[in-house]
Amino acid sequence: ATLASDNVIGVLPGSDPALAGQHIVISAHIDGYGLGTPWDGDGIYNGAFDDAAYVATLIDFAERLRETGTKLRRPVLFAIFTGEEKGLLGSRYFTKHLTIPREQLAANVNLDQLRPIFPLHTLTMHSVGDSTLSDTARGIAQAMGITIQTDPEPLRNLVRRSDNFPFLEIGVPATGFVFGYKPGTSDEVAYRRWYQDRYHTPKDDLDQPWVPEAAAKFNDFFAKLVTTLANADALPAWKPGSTFAPKQD
């Protein structure tokens, strides 16, 4: 059978005409696994944390901007991608059929791989060494008591497994985050158990244990990061030696 599924794209115009061609893309993915093999009689693969909660974060951020009348200098492109679980199909389609010119994409911050199941004190950040997105994120995180770290398990290749990666492939600074832990702690046990018991199963639902304060703290971090990127004088820039930086002719 052939299936069709839409990406959902919206643009919030910026307030500074001089920066109208510098879009900050924020993204999450709308697809889960739908119906599948039942677990204890439950065959609905809800995808609550993978990735419905973070589609909700984007909606919540948009609503907060509207309710507070906040104006951001740069335009923000909200992208809800489909087909992530089938191999980043929606984000790859978008980056190959852009709705705005490539040179008008300033950065991408993608929400996926986030599990607020223990207190937020550490965030693993993708592509830390590639662009100044990491410097901006570190400054915001430090003020909130959050440590930014590089991926402690690079062999899992998480950076290539979410919708930030197609943006890196077309030369746009991009990143995503994972709730981090200190090795050997109860947080690590909870993290690994989540992947064992709930990842891509019907147990990723609204009945699972989670830490609302950790989720709220991340949402606050994300809002501050996007607001800072949208209002900064300077654009995110590639760092020397990044393998994703466009080659200079």
Mean pLDDT of 49-78: 97
pLDDT in tens, 80-89: 999 999 999 9
pLDDT of residue 247: 83
d(CA 210, CA 53) in angstroms, rounded, equals: 12
Mean pLDDT of 45-56: 97
Residue with tokens 């994300």: 222
Q: What backbone torsions phi and psi does residue 55 show, to the nearest 5 degrees?
A: -65, -40
And the tokens for 2?
A: 């052939």
Q: What backbone torsions phi and psi does residue 82 show, to the nearest 5 degrees?
A: -100, 170
pLDDT in tens, 32-48: 988 999 999 999 999 99
Quick check: helix, strand or coil at residue 177?
strand
Report H helices in 119-162: 133-143
| In the chain, % of residues over pLDDT 70 | 99
pLDDT in tens, 141-186: 999 999 999 999 999 999 999 999 999 999 999 999 999 999 999 9
pLDDT of residue 154: 93
Whole-prediction pTM = 0.97
Mean pLDDT of 29-33: 94
Between the CA of residue 244 and those of 57, 127, 166, 173, 197, what are the distances in Å? 28, 10, 11, 8, 35
Instruction: With beta carbons less than 8 A apart as the criterion, state whether 35 and 45 touch.
Output: yes
* 174: nearest Cα among 67, 95, 72: 95
Report H helices in 69-185: 89-96, 133-143, 165-169
- Work out the pLDDT band at 240, boundaries 50, 70, 90: very high
pLDDT of residue 107: 98
| Mean per-residue pLDDT over the chain, rounded | 96
pLDDT of residue 1: 82
pLDDT of residue 249: 57
Q: Is the pLDDT of residue 248 over 90?
A: no
